C-alpha cells in the first residue's frame, strides 16, 4: 500500500463549479497534512496545511481532514481556469514530508 | 523576503560523471529537504538537513549525498550518474522541520543525464 494515494486524474470540472480532490494515507501516526499546487514546468506551491480533524477554509479553498478514515480532501469553490494544475497531497510522517503522485485538475472554460 | 534559490537551473551531464546541486533556503530557515521528481515516481524524499546534520534519509543509494553549511545553505551530490538519475531535483526549506513544518520549494534543478 502506498503511503499517500491520490487519483491521478485528470479531473475535469466546469468553470465556476466545485472541484473536489481526495487523498488517503496509510500511517495513522501522521500528524500534519498539506496540499500543494504544481503548474506544469514549475515547482510545488503550498496552498493549505491542516493538522486537526475537521475543515479549514482559506478563500476559495477548504481542506478537510478525517484522521479516523485516514482521509484528506481539498475543495476548490468557484473553480477558475487558473486552477488547472496538479494538486499534490503531502503528509508529515516522522518529520519527513511524503507526497502523493498528484491529481491533475482541468477546469473547463 | 527572498525565496528558496536553487542553482543551477539546468544541467546536462554524461553517465559516470558526478554533479553538485546547490540550495539556499529562505532567510532564517534551518531545515533543508531534497526531493527527486520524475513523471513515473512523483516526488520522492531524498534527505533532510537541519543545523548541518542529516536528520532523515529516504530510500536512495549511497551515490546520493548531501551536506549543509553553517549558513543553512545545502548541497546535494550525485556520483557515478546513471540515465535514470535524469529528473527535476527540488529543495524545500522550512523554519525548523518537525511535525508541523511547512515546506517551501525552490524552482528546482533539471538534470539530464546522457
Can you give the three-state secondary structure of B25-76, one letter per residue? CCCCCCEEEEEEEECCCEEEEEEEEECCEEEEECCCCCCEEEEECCCCCEEE
Q: What are phi and psi of A43, to 5 degrees?
A: -90, 160
Tens digits of per-residue pLDDT, B78-99?
999 999 999 999 999 998 767 7
Q: Which residues of A touch B98 (CB under 8 A)?
A: 95
- Spell out which residues of chain A touch residue B48, defining contact as CB-CB under 8 Å: 95-96
For residues B59-80, give the mean pLDDT: 97
Confidence tier at A94 by pLDDT (50, 70, 90): confident
Q: Are B32 and B46 in contact (CB under 8 A)?
A: no
Distance CA A73, CA A66 (A): 9
| Residues of chain A contacting residue B92, judged by C-beta atoms under 8 Å apart | 97
Mean pLDDT of chain B: 94
CB B66 within 8 A of CB B56: no
Residue of B23, B31, B95, B99 best to disrupt the A interface, most CBs of A under 10 A: B99
A67, A82, B62, B72, B102 from A35: Cα distances, Å = 16, 16, 30, 25, 10
Q: Does B56 touch chain A (CB under 8 A)?
A: yes
Count Cα neighbours of A79 within 13 Å in the Cβ-side half-sphere: 22
Angle subtended at Cα B36 by Cα B69 and Cα A104, rounded to the nearest 5 degrees: 135
Mean pLDDT of A7-35: 95
B60 touches chain A (CB under 8 A): no
Cell of B66: 548531501
Cα(B68)–Cα(B76) distance, rounded to whole angstroms?
A: 9
Q: Residue length, chain A?
A: 109
Looking up cell 498539506 gives A34
Give the percent of chain B with pLDDT over 90: 85
Distance from CA of B106 to the nearest CA of A (A): 7
Cross-chain residue pair A34–B102, CB shorter than 8 Å: yes
**Cβ under 8 Å to A: B residues 33-52:** 33, 35, 41-45, 48
Residue B61 CB neighbours (<10 A): 10
| Contact across the interface for B101 and A99, Cβ inside 8 Å | no
Average pLDDT, chain A: 94
Closest CA to B73 of B19, B9, B30: B30
Q: Environment class of residue A58 by beta-carbon count within 10 Å: exposed (0-12), middle (13-18) or buried (19+)?
A: exposed
Query: Residue B1: what pLDDT?
Result: 61
The minimal CB distance from B99 to the residues A92, A98, A99 is found for A92
* Cβ contact A31–B45 (<8 Å): no
Q: Pick the more confident residue, A64 or A1.
A: A64
Residue written as grid cell 518529520: A95
Amino acid at each position: 500500500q502506498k503511503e499517500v494515494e491520490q487519483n491521478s486524474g485528470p479531473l475535469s470540472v466546469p468553470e465556476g463549479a466545485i472541484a473536489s480532490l481526495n487523498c488517503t494515507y496509510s500511517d495513522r501516526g501522521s500528524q500534519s497534512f498539506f496540499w500543494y499546487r504544481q503548474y506544469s514546468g514549475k515547482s510545488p506551491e503550498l496552498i493549505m496545511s491542516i493538522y486537526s480533524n475537521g475543515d479549514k477554509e482559506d478563500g476559495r479553498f477548504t481542506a478537510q481532514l478525517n484522521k479516523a478514515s485516514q482521509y484528506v480532501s481539498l475543495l476548490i469553490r468557484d473553480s477558475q481556469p487558473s486552477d488547472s494544475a496538479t494538486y499534490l497531497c503531502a503528509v508529515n510522517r516522522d518529520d519527513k514530508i511524503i507526497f502523493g503522485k498528484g491529481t491533475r485538475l482541468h477546469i473547463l472554460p | 523576503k527572498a525565496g528558496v534559490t536553487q542553482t543551477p537551473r539546468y544541467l546536462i551531464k554524461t553517465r559516470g560523471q558526478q554533479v553538485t546541486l546547490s540550495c539556499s533556503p529562505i532567510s532564517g530557515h534551518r531545515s533543508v529537504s531534497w526531493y527527486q521528481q520524475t513523471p513515473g515516481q512523483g516526488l520522492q524524499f531524498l534527505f533532510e538537513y537541519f543545523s548541518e546534520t542529516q536528520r532523515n534519509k529516504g530510500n536512495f543509494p549511497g551515490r546520493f549525498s548531501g551536506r549543509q553549511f553553517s549558513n543553512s545553505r545545502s548541497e546535494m551530490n550525485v556520483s557515478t550518474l546513471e540515465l535514470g538519475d535524469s529528473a527535476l531535483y527540488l529543495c524545500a526549506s522550512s523554519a525548523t522541520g518537525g511535525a508541523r513544518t511547512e515546506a517551501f520549494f525552490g524552482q528546482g534543478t533539471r538534470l539530464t543525464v546522457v
